[in-house]
Structures are given as structure tokens and as C-alpha cells.
Amino acid sequence: MSILIKNVLLNSQKRDVLIEGNKIKKISECLDIKADEEINGKGKMILPGLINMHTHSAMTLFRSYADDMPLQKWLEEKIWPAEAKLTSEDVYWGMKLACLEMIKSGTTTFVDNYWFVPAGARATEEMGLRAVLAPPFFDLFDMQKREKAIKQTEEIFQESKNFNSRITFGLAPHSIYTVSEQGLCWIKDFASKYNLFIQIHISETKKEVEECQKKYNKRPIEFLDSLNFLSKNVLAAHSIWFNEAEIDIASKQKISIVYNPSSNMKLSSGIFNYADLKKAEINITLGTDGCSSNNNLDMFEEMKIAALLQKLNNPKNLPAAECLKLASQNGAKFLGLDIGIKEEKIADIILIDLEQSSFTPGHNLISDIVYSANGNCVSEVICDGKILMRNRRVEGEEKILRKSAEAAKNLINKCNSK
Ligand SMILES: [Zn+2]
């Protein structure tokens, strides 16, 4: 399978880009080649696909179900009771909707943790995206629950060997306030045995830090470090309340961090300390979090919010080009994904339609991407060398909207009727 993109804008120059298999084969001023598919790139700009580094995709089902609430109340009274009623079919449709939304807003890879991973994997495979999928791990400090969580994780890990090669199995201990020391140590050992990524929510709220200090006499990152939990395979979501010593540890242990500005603002979690984390040369990436705390998966909007939140005190913080890196290259760095618009790189590509007001007059297209546009500017999406969206059309989108809405409504009805 080959795709030829003609006359597309690459770093302010018009280029032809040839994709063969799942790689970018050739980039040149003019390629006179017959390809299986040809895309007219005139008036469009080419970029690597965006990478959403922290989300709970199938929570699209809970979009606008519970808003304007504090985190703990929101989780305990609304989200966890509804999730207790979820079926794998619900997650399948929630994931289809999430993938559709991500494709339509230029995301080609996402890091996810949510229930019913095999159903999520099936949906992701069908939609053609690349993902790290992890089952959430909770033990609530109870030995029986821990045994059960371990068994489930091991089973899904076995099953994941049959998933498509675009899907990587990962581990996701929920947090230090829902997983015991023993649970965290089991995760760490399992991850190092099989070389797996670990995602964890850490220092999301001030309360979490205070409780950790009370319980373990350490701050969250110090506590995890004392278990030898931290490594370059650890992806820490939120990471808002790090003090100087914790930033030092995070930097030494080479963990990567996910900045989730919309979720942090919506749940009043706090302001991410981008400047100091960057100074410590920590790899900072970007994520939307789930649709119940955002309420969408649009990484273009997330870039804008990410940048603006950092400028509250200093307009020089997080400039546009750096923000775009958070949403692409930095995520790829953690995942070891060789993306970029260069020959021999993986063909995870998006085209942006520049012929609209967001990009006019176009003094600085990178600024326009971050501050002016939203995900609707994406016209074509290619992942792993396959076209997932063309002229903003994704195959089967009407059915996905209908079936996912049905699944979500039935689920909420079940919750309300108890
Ligand atoms: Zn999360």
C-alpha cells in the first residue's frame, strides 16, 4: 500500500510525501510516482499525529453526566457507581466514540487506562489508532481485592499477546491512595519483568499529599522512590504538587510527566508547575484526561489551555512551539515511537486545512495551531500508513454516534433505577 501526498506545506515549503507500508519513504519537491492513493495537499500543512498521554477513553460515555463537582465527591458519588455497572459492550462503544473523536482532532496515539481492556483493544484496532492500553489496578488496601486485581492484570496481559501490534499493554496502578505498598511493589516487579510502561495518578490534589505525609511520613514521590518504584518507564499523570525535593527525585529517576490542564482546572486540583519541572529537564507530555473531567479529547484545545494556564504569571512561559512538542515529540520520546515528517519515520501523520479563518492571515502557523485553531482544522489522518480520515470523513461515524449514545443512556438509566 502506498500513499502520495502532493504539494503539502512542510516547514514553510511545498513538498510531495510518499508513504510506503507504514513508513515515510520519500520527501521531495516533486515526486512523479503512481501511488495506490493520492491526496491533494494544496492549502494544507503536514505534521506528525498528536499523542494524548493520559486519558480514560471510554469515559466519553460520561460526557456531561457529572460536572461542576469536587474530585472526591465526583468520583465517589457519580463516576465509581456508574462504572460499577459498565459492561464490555459499553466500553467497546465508548472507545469507538473516543477513537472517532481523536481521529477527528488529529490524535494518532493515546495512552489509556480503563476497564475491559480487550473490548477497548477491539475498538482501537478497528478504528486504526495506536495505543497503550492498561487495566486500572485498585486494591483499596485489602488483600483479597489485591489478589483479584493481580489475577485480572495477569489474565489481560496474557490476552494482550493477541492484540494488534499497534496496541501495547501497560500497567495502571490508580494512585497511592487506592493501591497499597504491596500492590505497588507487585506492579513494579511485573513491569520490570516484562518491560512494561506504568501510568499512575500522582500528586493530583493537595489533600493526597497531606494524607500521604500523615500515613507514610513522606510526600508522594518520596514514598514511591522509597519503594524503588520510579524509573524511565513510569508516566506520572497530573503531578501538580511536587516540592523541590520531589522534582529532584523525578528528574534523577527519569520519569515522564503528563500535564492535564483542563482536568486540573475543572476539578480545582491546582496549577501544574511547568517552569520548575522543565528546569529540572523532566520530559513533560500532554493529556486530556477522561471526557468526564475535560469534556473532550481535543489535543488542540488542550495545547491552548496548557499554554494559557502557564502564562497567568508570565507570558513567556510555555511558548507555542514548545507546547506543540508536549503534544507530540515528548510523548513519542517516552513511548519510543519514531515519528516526525522525515524519510524512514513511522507514517503517523495529520494534514491541517489552512484555508480557514483560524490560519488567516497566517503570520505564524505554529502560533495559529496552538492559540487559534481547534481539532476541526484536521482534514486527513494517517496512522501506521493507513488513511483513517479523508476530507474529515471517517468510515462508519454515524453508527458510532448512535450506538455509543444508546449505550450511555442505557447505562445511566440502570444507575438511576438501581
Ligand atoms: Zn486520569
Q: Give distance in angstroms: CA of 163 to centre of ligand 1.
A: 23
Surrounding residues of ion ligand 1, Cβ less than 5 A? 289
Q: Give distance in angstroms: CA of 248 to centre of ligand 1.
A: 24
Q: Give distance in angstroms: CA of 176 to centre of ligand 1.
A: 13
Q: Is 72 a residue whose pLDDT tops 90? A: no
Peptide bond into 361 cis (omega under 30): yes
Judge whether 27 and 373 are in contact, CB under 8 Å. no
Q: Give distance in angstroms: CA of 324 to centre of ligand 1.
A: 21
Query: Cα angle vertex 413, ends 408, 415, to 5°?
Result: 100
The confidence score (pLDDT) of residue 417 equals: 81
Q: Give distance in angstroms: CA of 238 to centre of ligand 1.
A: 8
Residue 245 CB coordination number (10 Å): 12
The confidence score (pLDDT) of residue 4 equals: 98
Judge whether 170 and 113 are in contact, CB under 8 Å. yes
Q: Cell numbers at residue 288, please?
A: 486530556
The per-residue pLDDT for range 219-256, each reduced to its tens digit, is 999 999 999 999 999 999 999 999 999 999 999 999 99
Q: Give distance in angstroms: CA of 156 to centre of ligand 1.
A: 20
Q: Helix, strand, coil proportions of the chain in percent (round to 5)?
A: 45, 20, 35
Q: Give distance in angstroms: CA of 20 to centre of ligand 1.
A: 36
Q: Is 96 a residue whose pLDDT tops 90? A: yes
Q: Is 384 a residue whose pLDDT tops 90? A: yes
Instruction: Dump the DSSP string for 58-120.
Output: GGGGGTTTS-S--HHHIIIIIIHHHHTT--HHHHHHHHHHHHHHHHHTTEEEEEEE-S-HHHH
Judge whether 292 and 61 are in contact, CB under 8 Å. no
Cα separation, 283 vs 255, whole angstroms = 7
The per-residue pLDDT for range 309-366, each reduced to its tens digit, is 999 989 999 999 999 999 999 999 999 999 999 999 999 999 999 999 999 999 999 9
143-159 and 181-194 helices cross at what angle (nearest 10)? 20
Beta strands in 145-279 (DSSP E): 167-169, 172-173, 198-202, 234-238, 256-259
Judge whether 284 and 259 are in contact, CB under 8 Å. yes
Peptide bond into 295 cis (omega under 30): yes
| Residue recorded with cell 491533494 | 40
The per-residue pLDDT for range 14-43, each reduced to its tens digit, is 999 999 999 999 999 999 999 999 999 999
Q: Give distance in angstroms: CA of 113 to centre of ligand 1.
A: 8
Measured distance between the N- and C-terminal CA atoms of the chain, rounded to whole angstroms: 51
Q: Which residues contact 66 (CB under 8 A, 6 or more apart)?
A: 74, 77, 78, 79, 292
Cα separation, 281 vs 189, whole angstroms = 27
Judge whether 47 and 350 are in contact, CB under 8 Å. yes
Query: Cα angle vertex 190, ends 189, 193, to 5°?
Result: 85
Judge whether 167 and 124 are in contact, CB under 8 Å. yes
The confidence score (pLDDT) of residue 292 equals: 87
Q: Give distance in angstroms: CA of 361 to centre of ligand 1.
A: 38
Q: Give distance in angstroms: CA of 52 to centre of ligand 1.
A: 12
Q: Is 418 a residue whose pLDDT tops 70? A: no
What mean pLDDT is reported for the chain?
A: 97
Q: Cell numbers at residue 250, please?
A: 523525578
β-strand partners of 110: 52, 131
Cα separation, 327 vs 335, whole angstroms = 13
Report the sign of the C-alpha dihedral through residues 278, 250, 283, 258, in that order: negative
